[in-house]
A = this chain, B = another copy of it.
């Protein structure tokens, strides 16, 4: 497996694969890989001939006061793990490679980037859309895999790829959870034992809301309430948002008629965790 920070190297490598008629799958990450990420690599490996994993802690998607500086790093472990899954290359550019001094371009996706994390983290999705466009430009993948935990990110990328005619298949990978239900996240490392225990209530709340929907409840405000009520058992969790939205447009939905995404952001102490669950209408 090739590990390189050189944009030219990775670009030439992918170009040579394409010339051989091989398809390229990209898994963009910020490193600190957990089983959630690894499932993305497995999906990419199953659907393409050559998997490239990018590891780049993208500063432009962090807001002021967010955890850019302390974001966990484990590059050697990350490389070993993705190599074991059959990745052919890991692209680890540094910040000055990606954003040289005279870099000036931003990709902004309106609509779908608003509300939810878009409200909580202003500028975040501009950073995400821009870095993904850059990575797509360098790697020119046939497909790219994104996790459904970051549901709004997935929706933003899908919208952008459609709008800019990037001709990249965006594959959505299911959320991978810890045995107690907590969605895998690099930020789970920030949690103390107590917070870690309470954090499993997030998943419990999502499933409680879905359970309510399965009994026939159509009123989304009651589903959101079920989630929030479930979290009242916690002492150190505070809900930043709990919204029922269309999973493609992120527009708010009040009544279950088609599939609805219940998307939440919860502070566990100072650590912000997101999670979501798809709720299908009863048929």
Residues in chain B near residue A133, CB distance under 8 A: 164
The residues in A between 230 and 278 inclusive whose CB is less than 8 angstroms from any CB of B are 249
In the bound complex, what is the Cα–Cα distance between A166 and B104 (angstroms)? 14
Residues in chain B near residue A113, CB distance under 8 A: 104
A107/B107 contact (C-beta < 8 A), A137-B164, A138-B165, A167-B137 known:
yes
Q: Contact string, A161-198, partner B, CB cutoff 8 A, digits 1/0?
A: 00111110000000000000000000000000000000
With A103-B163, A105-B164, A106-B107 given, name 19 new contacts (CB 8 A).
A11-B167, A102-B111, A102-B249, A104-B110, A104-B111, A104-B112, A104-B113, A105-B107, A105-B110, A105-B129, A106-B109, A106-B110, A108-B108, A133-B164, A134-B163, A134-B164, A137-B165, A137-B167, A138-B165
Chain B residue at minimum C-beta to C-beta distance from A106: B108
- In angstroms, how far is the closest chain B Cβ from the Cβ of A214? 30
- Is A45 among interface residues, defined by CB-CB distance under 8 A? no
The residues in A between 141 and 173 inclusive whose CB is less than 8 angstroms from any CB of B are 159-160, 163-167
Chain A, interface SS category: mixed
- In angstroms, how far is the closest chain B Cβ from the Cβ of A122? 15
- In angstroms, how far is the closest chain B Cβ from the Cβ of A96? 14
Residues in chain B near residue A138, CB distance under 8 A: 165
Q: Contact string, A88-117, partner B, CB cutoff 8 A, digits 1/0?
A: 000000000000001111111111110000
Top 9 closest A-B pairs, CB basis?
A137-B165, A105-B163, A104-B111, A104-B110, A106-B108, A138-B165, A105-B109, A105-B160, A137-B164
Residues in chain B near residue A137, CB distance under 8 A: 164-167
Chain B residue at minimum C-beta to C-beta distance from A133: B164
- In angstroms, how far is the closest chain B Cβ from the Cβ of A275? 25
In the bound complex, what is the Cα–Cα distance between A166 and B136 (angstroms)? 9
In the bound complex, what is the Cα–Cα distance between A167 and B271 (angstroms)? 40
Q: Let me know if A104 and B134 touch, CB within 8 A.
A: no
In the bound complex, what is the Cα–Cα distance between A111 and B100 (angstroms)? 14
- In angstroms, how far is the closest chain B Cβ from the Cβ of A100? 9
Most chain B CB neighbours (cut-off 10 Å) among A7, A104, A110, A159: A104
- In angstroms, how far is the closest chain B Cβ from the Cβ of A63? 18
The residues in A between 109 and 133 inclusive whose CB is less than 8 angstroms from any CB of B are 109-113, 129, 133
